[in-house]
Amino acid sequence: LQKSLNETFGADKYSEARKEVLTNMFSRPMQMALYFCTGVLEDETLFRHYALNVPFYTHFTSPIRRYADVIVHRLLSASLGASPPIRMEKEAIQKQADHCNDRKMASKRVQELSADLFFGIFVRVR
């Protein structure tokens, strides 16, 4: 997709802006990843990563970025025996995951609305 966009828009002064707008529009319909506790979900097909075509998948980044990543780091550390087990029930972990999902979706919605607002201003000015 990125290669097609690069080839299609050439090199005029608005090509980067057109490419950015279309890339954003193409990615919006994609399903957003959700955090969940595997001990709460019994259907293991929900653990699958569709795009990577792998049956079990977890994702995390540096734990300084998001609280969900802190939880994943702690759980992985405990599962590898590097730290004591976490003293949280699976329902409590799922409650934390639900809260992180809610905040992530709210943040994404604000980001989209902000982009729409500034795009509207851009169009009006031009």
Q: Residue 108: CB partners within 8 Å, gap ≥ 6? A: 32
pLDDT at 12: 79
Domain ranges of the chain: 1-30, 35-125
Instruction: State the Cα–Cα distance between residues 27 and 63, nearest whole angstrom.
Output: 26
Tokens 């955090």 sit on residue: 35
Q: Of 18-22, 73-77, 107-111, 112-116, which range is least confident?
A: 18-22
pLDDT at 29: 59
Instruction: State the Cα–Cα distance between residues 19 and 8, nearest whole angstrom.
Output: 9
More confident: 62 or 101: 101
Is the pLDDT at 63 greater than 80? The verdict is no
Contact assessment for residue 37 and residue 93, using Cβ atoms and an 8 Å cutoff = yes
- Provide the whole-model pTM: 0.65
